[in-house]
Structure 1
Amino acid sequence: MPVKTDRNDARALAQIMRMGWFRQVHVKSRPCRLFRSALVARRTMLNEMRSIEKVVRAILREAGTKLGTPSRANFAAKVREMVIGDPTVTALVEPLLSVLATMLAELTRMTKQVLSIVRDEPVCRRLMGVPGVGPITALAFRATIDDPERFRHSRDVGAHLGLTPTRYQSGETDVTGRISRCGDELARTALYEAAHSLLTRSKVWSSLKAWGMTIARRRGMARARVAVARKLAVILHSMWRDQMVFRFGKAPSAIAV
């Protein structure tokens, strides 16, 4: 409105209610909101640790040392080993390493809390039957969807999480773009990571992995991960709604040459 006042806002709201120009919005249950808060707290701690680790790496590069890729548990020990004999660099990195040690202990405690939640959630345990889906992904999906009955079709979950491509159509122009990235970023990222794990780490054959690898060979691994993440959203919703277990499919007995 060109003139925005409280009176005009009240009149607009009254018009919306009178004409029915609104739709019901799902309000998540308190347990799901707490589940998501636990996941956000853990991810925040993990992101801050990565930021500090990058600073430590930058300090070592300035000193002419390249750290490599040690595990998170061995990160501090490796840094201290490489800065022995250089008191100036040691004085710079030691406070950061002390902070990392405290954060690592708290991250471990948060991870145990998440695992404890998943252990008591039958829905999460069911969803973890899908290869590539771990406790974090299962709980993120559980906390985001909350009630599977609010989606009429399982394929709608992919669009809800921003895993479907955008489209711009006008006259003779019809462009299909990248995924929309709408909806909950936490669940979308978890599904993407689960898809990557399924395609690269899972050693158990499944029709889902075979389908994803076919896309990877034809269009690249990046597109395959997105496609498998979208398919995972559909599968997880169907399993949850219909109380079913994951079907691996029947592996081909022979490969035609």
Structure 2
Amino acid sequence: MKHYVGLDVALKTTQICVMDQEQKIVAEAKIETHPEALSQYLFKLGLNYQRVGLETGNLAQWLYTGMAEAGLPIICVDARKIKSFLKLQKVNKNDRNDARGIAKAMHIGTEHAVHMKTIESQRMRSLLAARKSIQIKMNDLKMFVRGNIRQYGMKMDKVSLSMWEARVRELIAGDNFLCMVVEPILVCIRTMRQQVVVLSKEINQITRGDPTCRLLMTCPGVGPVVSLTFKTSIDIPERFANSQTVGAYLGLTPKQNQSGETDKRGRISRAGDIAMRTALVEAAHSMLSRGRACWLKEWALKIKKRTNLFVAAIALARRLAVILHRMWVDKTEFCWEAAPKRAVAA
């Protein structure tokens, strides 16, 4: 008989529900949240498992990898989708009922299963996220300094990154109190900038030694950060049968609301990987503002001429996603002279 398992994961313990093909509960337990402990419990039952499901979350990657290596048919489902499914059960929300609901979802099918990245991709995403996090905190501190000294009539105006700290010191030089307040923040910003350089060097070193990243960087506007972000976001290019779907996967296609004769299209869906979508839009802006002339830039500039910069950048970002995926699959460098037939249709 086939059996289906639902796991409601918490930090310390995980509620397990095992259900047969007739949706009868065979076993329930609360086990330590560890892939080895969960796998041992399920193997001791000696049942024929068809699907073992858990929700996306902070511990999902760790549990998924460990239980998959143990030989269990583990599946990770979108937490937002499974939440809607659990609401239909019309029972009290608790760990036991959530585990039962996930087990029922596994019995029905795997429509909302999500792709779990490889360990290597997960590590690279941690590196990219660390660099981005420091940059965000550094910008927050800069904005605090700007706003704090502005209330005393000290205006920063436009200044280069290398001269930013010197300019702040110049403005507050005559005020001992402001020097005392701002100095610790300047030290933090300087330290953060140094660590961003360290992480950037690490990213550059990794991309130089990676054939896929070197291939992707032949495309205009694509540097080490964008290439590594794209590689870790897509992870396995073969999971996309058509390169056209990559744009939708990254949330760069318009929303659609169609019903009968009504067919409305809005702004981009913003679904999928935020970091990848942001990186592609930044690459598009870079290409439009200072990139080398090529057929792709000319195509985007025509859109800009009849619309605006924002629309052109989004369109270019979407097309970049399609082209990068096609380059990766075909193992071919970017064609600068003319648009390939496949790129024309993108």
Normalised by the size of structure 2, how large is the TM-score? Answer: 0.68
- Compare the two structures and name the one with the higher helix fraction: 1
Corresponding residue for residue 189 of structure 1: 278
Choose which of 63, 68, 75 in structure 1 pairs with 2:152. Answer: 63
Q: Aligned partners of 1:151 and 1:163: how far apart in 2?
A: 16
Shift of 1:206: 1.1
1:236 maps to 2:330: no
Corresponding residue for residue 91 of structure 1: 180
Q: Identify if the C-alpha distance between structure 1 residues 59 and 150 changes in structure 2 by more than 3 Å, giving closer, same or farther.
A: same
User: Structure 1 regions of 5+ residues with no counterpart?
Assistant: 252-257
Q: Aligned partners of 1:218 and 1:59: how far apart in 2?
A: 42
Choose which of 206, 214, 223 in structure 2 pairs with 1:125. Answer: 214
More off after superposition, 110-119 vs 84-93: 84-93
Is the partner of 2:267 in helix, strand or coil?
A: strand
Corresponding residue for residue 254 of structure 1: none
Q: Aligned partners of 2:286 and 2:198: how far apart in 1?
A: 24
Q: Identify if the C-alpha distance between structure 1 residues 29 and 85 changes in structure 2 by more than 3 Å, giving closer, same or farther.
A: same
Corresponding residue for residue 229 of structure 2: 140
**Structure 1 residue identity aligned to 2:297:** K
**Structure 2 residue identity aligned to 1:236:** L
Using CA pairs under 8 Å that are at least 6 residues apart, name the structure with larger relative contact order, 1 or 2: 1
Q: Aligned partners of 2:217 and 2:283: how far apart in 1?
A: 11
Q: Aligned partners of 1:218 and 1:238: how far apart in 2?
A: 28
Shift of 1:169: 1.6
Q: Which runs of structure 2 are paired with 1:1-257 in the superposition (5 Å)?
A: 1-4=89-92, 12-22=101-111, 25-202=114-291, 204-250=292-338
Q: Identify if the C-alpha distance between structure 1 residues 2 and 65 changes in structure 2 by more than 3 Å, giving closer, same or farther.
A: same
Q: Tell me, yes or no, if the aligned pair for 1:16 and 1:22 is still in contact at 8 Å.
A: no
1:147-193 per-residue CA deviation (whole Å, 9 max, x = no partner) reads: 10000000111000000000112234321010000001001000000
Q: Aligned partners of 2:96 and 2:128: how far apart in 1?
A: 42
Q: Aligned partners of 1:181 and 1:153: how far apart in 2?
A: 20
Q: Tell me, yes or no, if the aligned pair for 1:161 and 1:183 is still in contact at 8 Å.
A: yes
Q: Identify if the C-alpha distance between structure 1 residues 172 and 115 changes in structure 2 by more than 3 Å, giving closer, same or farther.
A: same
- Compare the two structures and name the one with the higher strand fraction: 2
Q: Aligned partners of 1:61 and 1:21: how far apart in 2?
A: 55
Q: Identify if the C-alpha distance between structure 1 residues 51 and 21 changes in structure 2 by more than 3 Å, giving closer, same or farther.
A: closer
Q: Aligned partners of 2:130 and 2:100: how far apart in 1?
A: 41
1:107-146 per-residue CA deviation (whole Å, 9 max, x = no partner) reads: 1111111111111111111101011111110010011001
1:51-77 per-residue CA deviation (whole Å, 9 max, x = no partner) reads: 000011112211101112222222111
Q: Identify if the C-alpha distance between structure 1 residues 63 and 126 changes in structure 2 by more than 3 Å, giving closer, same or farther.
A: same
More off after superposition, 22-31 vs 186-195: 22-31
Q: Tell me, yes or no, if the aligned pair for 1:239 and 1:245 is still in contact at 8 Å.
A: yes
Structure 1 runs of 4+ aligned residues shifted over 3 Å read 4-25
Percent identity of equivalent pairs: 44
Q: Aligned partners of 1:7 and 1:56: how far apart in 2?
A: 50
Let me know the Cα RMSD of the aligned residues: 1.9
User: Structure 2 regions of 5+ residues with no counterpart?
Assistant: 1-88, 340-346
Q: Aligned partners of 1:53 and 1:80: how far apart in 2?
A: 13
Q: Aligned partners of 2:324 and 2:110: how far apart in 1?
A: 32
Q: Aligned partners of 2:102 and 2:112: how far apart in 1?
A: 13
More off after superposition, 138-147 vs 105-114: 105-114
Q: Aligned partners of 1:210 and 1:242: how far apart in 2?
A: 24
Normalised by the size of structure 1, how large is the TM-score? Answer: 0.91
**Structure 2 residue identity aligned to 1:241:** V
Q: Identify if the C-alpha distance between structure 1 residues 17 and 91 changes in structure 2 by more than 3 Å, giving closer, same or farther.
A: closer
